[in-house]
A and B are shown apart, each in its own frame.
Chain A
Amino acid sequence: MTASKLYFENVKEGDEVPSFEVKNLTRTDIVKYAGASGDFNPIHHDQTFAEAARYPTVFAHGMLNAGFVSKCLTDYVGRPGLRRFKVRFTSQVWPGDTITCGGKVTKKYSADGENRIDGELFAKNQKGETVIQGSFVAALPSRQ
């Protein structure tokens, strides 16, 4: 898969970041992220521990959800041009949830000799609740 490259000339303020969806997040998905990141906080994989902490069950690492948002973003702007990526965690994501990530371009400008765009990002669950609010800055190549 080679995503078509985004050029500065082809972007305008208000353009949407194409959405990315993760259907039915599993406990295995969460454990895979624990292994990949090294974050073995038991709240994310140990049912007994989660219940003792008064949660109904385990929940995903915020940074797993942030990873899904980053995938959505870099599919659009590419990886090398990313200059800033910020997320705020607003709600938990539980096994069985379906997460939709997206965003939009809010500003188009030149700075530090680069063509740049700013934008907003989000991740929502299947109930429409926001689980992440985010923002980004990216530099884009020019056709000229």
Chain B
Amino acid sequence: MEQSSAKDPRIGRSGQPTTMRVELGKIREFARAIKDDNPVYFDESYAKREAGGVMPPPTFTMTQAFWDESASRIDHGLDMRRVLHGEQEFEYVKAVHAGDTLTAKARISNVEKRPGKRGGEMTLVTLETEYRNQSGEVCLYARSTIIETAKPVEKKD
């Protein structure tokens, strides 16, 4: 982390807010895909007793990133052919339940450049998305770090 680029112009850029409904069917589809049979996703009376209602799995808000394919996009200036998902973090502030409506607002919270393993320079961009419920309360933050790997050194013949 030698060149902390605090002044990178991309930091602070934000996308248009997008709204998603937390749907029961989508929760179950998602839980099945991650092979999670927890009754908090499938049994409404159990979920009501234990969690105040059916909750989405911890990584469920990944579905929002693809809910609106254009409006929430932020120009991060990366070459998508060289991009990898490096890290993902979720901070849960308030419980979310099936039927809630979440509004997501994403911004670029950090940009760092580091030397690549095989020379060149890689760029790490962290996107932070804040999710608020229908009452305007912050429910969670998702932080996604994507890595643009170093550009291959071009050979001259």
- Supposing A38-B63, A62-B88, A89-B87 touch, asked if A82 and B32 sit within 8 A by C-beta, the answer is no
Number of inter-chain CB pairs below 8 Å: 113
**Does B156 belong to the interface (CB within 8 Å)?**
no
Sample of 4 further A-B pairs with CB below 8 A, known A36-B32, A83-B92:
A1-B39, A64-B34, A86-B87, A89-B86
Residues from chain B with Cβ under 8 Å of A11 in the complex: none
**Cβ 8 A contact of B35, one of A37, A62, A71:** A71
**Nearest-neighbor residue (CB-CB) of B142 within chain A:** A85
Interface residues of A in 19-60 (CB under 8 A from B): 22, 29, 32-33, 35-40, 53
- Supposing A3-B38, A70-B58, A80-B55 touch, asked if A33 and B85 sit within 8 A by C-beta, the answer is no
Contact-residue bracket for chain B: 35 or more
**Nearest-neighbor residue (CB-CB) of B81 within chain A:** A53
CA distance A32 to B85 in the complex (A): 19
Task: Map CB proximity to B onto A74-102 as digits: 1 under 8 Å, 0 otherwise.
Answer: 11001110111111110000000000000
* Contact assessment for A70 and B34 in the assembled complex, using a CB-CB cutoff below 8 Å: yes
Residues from chain B with Cβ under 8 Å of A79 in the complex: 38, 40, 51, 55, 57-58
**Does A144 belong to the interface (CB within 8 Å)?**
no
**Does B121 belong to the interface (CB within 8 Å)?**
no
**Does A131 belong to the interface (CB within 8 Å)?**
no
**Nearest-neighbor residue (CB-CB) of B87 within chain A:** A88
- Supposing A2-B39, A38-B67 touch, asked if A32 and B91 sit within 8 A by C-beta, the answer is no
Interface residues of B in 59-117 (CB under 8 A from A): 59, 62-63, 65-67, 81, 84-92, 95
**Nearest-neighbor residue (CB-CB) of B93 within chain A:** A83
Contact-residue bracket for chain A: 35 or more
**Does B137 belong to the interface (CB within 8 Å)?**
no
**Cβ 8 A contact of A71, one of B36, B86, B87, B90:** B36
* Contact assessment for B91 and A70 in the assembled complex, using a CB-CB cutoff below 8 Å: no
Residues of A within 8 A of B (CB): 1-3, 22, 29, 32-33, 35-40, 53, 62-64, 66-68, 70-71, 73-75, 78-80, 82-89
CA distance A82 to B139 in the complex (A): 12
* Contact assessment for A70 and B92 in the assembled complex, using a CB-CB cutoff below 8 Å: no
**Does B120 belong to the interface (CB within 8 Å)?**
no
* Contact assessment for B46 and A63 in the assembled complex, using a CB-CB cutoff below 8 Å: no
* Contact assessment for B33 and A33 in the assembled complex, using a CB-CB cutoff below 8 Å: yes
B110 CB → nearest A CB, Å: 15
**Does B8 belong to the interface (CB within 8 Å)?**
no
CA distance A53 to B67 in the complex (A): 26
**Nearest-neighbor residue (CB-CB) of B90 within chain A:** A85
Q: Could you name 25 residue pairs across A and B whose Cβ atoms are closer than 8 Å?
A: A1-B38, A2-B39, A32-B33, A36-B30, A37-B30, A38-B65, A63-B88, A67-B34, A67-B59, A70-B57, A74-B40, A74-B57, A75-B38, A78-B40, A78-B50, A79-B57, A79-B58, A80-B40, A80-B95, A84-B90, A84-B91, A85-B90, A85-B92, A87-B88, A89-B84
